[in-house]
Amino acid sequence: MAPIRVLVVDDSAFMRHAVGRLIGEAGDLVVVGSASNGEEGLKAAASLKPDVITLDVEMPVLDGPGMLRRLMATSPTRVVMLSSLTTEGAAVTLDALDAGAIDFVAKPGGSLSIDVGRVSGDLVAKIRAAAGMSEASFLAHRNRVARRAMLRPAPAVQKAVARPVRVGATTARRLVVIASSTGGPSALNAVVPLLPGNLAAGVLIVQHMPPGFTASLADRLHAGGKIGVHEAAANDLITDGEALLAPGDFHMISSASGRIQLSSLPPVNAVRPAADVTLQAVAPVWRDRILCVVLTGMGADGREGARAVKSHGGTVFAQDRESSAVWGMPGSVVEAGLADKVVPLDRMADAIAAWVANAGATRVAGASAGLGSMPMARR
């Protein structure tokens, strides 16, 4: 097979050399060019037509998100961002994901990282995943990006709303757990904001992201939708009509009473937070009142969690191949025979809402017929 052709765009000569060397060592990747700012990057992309571009966030003349928006309008190309691990870096990186980047890698030492070799495996894997994205999936991704750009509210509307103090809140009646990784922020943007505000279920979201990025993602999902979305904190209560996003570098589980617990136990499936940890913890408590939703992502995180959900009477949905940036996670669930439904991304919010409504109707009908129901999570 022909090697994956990569263009490296970074304002630091050191980073261009370091990233180029890491890519060249992969064997199946080759650097076809480099550029020191967004304007040069656009010219190089037009002439070289690379398979994937690695794109720095902060650059002079034209920064990464600025280049990305113009690139997607003129020469759509799969892009992996390189970001600094800062609050500002997180916000700008999420802007880039909104503008069409497939994924990102956080530089461990900031914008000029002498430790970039520590993330070489992650960088190479994400370049391969971006290159392996089918043309149909990439086209669907671009269309979602274009629709969001047209509908995006003014910046003032996007500011996070403080979490309200909810006096007398009770544990959710049902639970939806959403797992995602590569391509996940874009997929979550296509699902979570479309969930109804009166959803009779709590939502837990496990997105593979480093610390500092999950708070920004939660703020954006909150501002764009009808249900509240917040980065989870210890002792948060899972309640109807609200979503809690696992914070970066913490596994998220819940007690039998529906209270969030955060853990720094070792990574599972090489990630923390891991969806398998969350799902295996909540499945025995919520039993038939839990829906597991596995969205786009590399690897197989979520598969064993889905198995636990099924073994306790719960339901599993997986995103379909055509709409997934990477069909690794949902594909592993489907191939293991664990998916009750395989759902296109643009229909997932409706499918979740329908499951919640039907689950509630089934429980009421069962109780009326004298069949009883599974016990609620203890208050």
pLDDT for the residue 254: 94
pLDDT for the residue 361: 63
Annotated catalytic, 181? yes
Annotated catalytic, 208? yes
- Check if the beta carbon of residue 184 is closer than 8 Å to that of residue 156: no
Specify the DSSP element, H or E, that contains 257: none
The list of the chain residues with pLDDT below 70 reads 85-87, 109-118, 151-168, 360-379
Selecting among 51, 301, 323, 324, the annotated active-site residue is: 301
* Residue 35 DSSP SS3: strand
Selecting among 111, 137, 181, 216, the annotated active-site residue is: 181
Cβ-based burial of 340 (10 A; exposed 0-12, middle 13-18, buried ≥19): middle
Structure tokens, 93? 């990186």
Between CA 127 and CA 255 the distance in angstroms is 38
Sign for the pseudo-dihedral over CA of 325, 328, 331, 333: negative
pLDDT for the residue 232: 97
Structural domains in the chain, sorted by start:
4-132 (3.40.50.2300), 169-368 (3.40.50.180)
C-alpha distance from residue 222 to each of 131, 157, 159, 340 (Å): 31, 11, 9, 28
Structure tokens, 257? 């009473």
Selecting among 11, 186, 208, 320, the annotated active-site residue is: 208
- Output the pTM of the full model: 0.88
Between CA 325 and CA 281 the distance in angstroms is 28
Cβ-based burial of 379 (10 A; exposed 0-12, middle 13-18, buried ≥19): exposed
Biggest CA-to-CA distance, the chain? 72
- Check if the beta carbon of residue 257 is closer than 8 Å to that of residue 171: yes
Structure tokens, 126? 């994400």
Between CA 98 and CA 116 the distance in angstroms is 25
Among 131, 139, 136, 132, residue whose Cα is nearest residue 51: 131
Number of other residues whose CB lies within 10 A of the CB of residue 370: 6
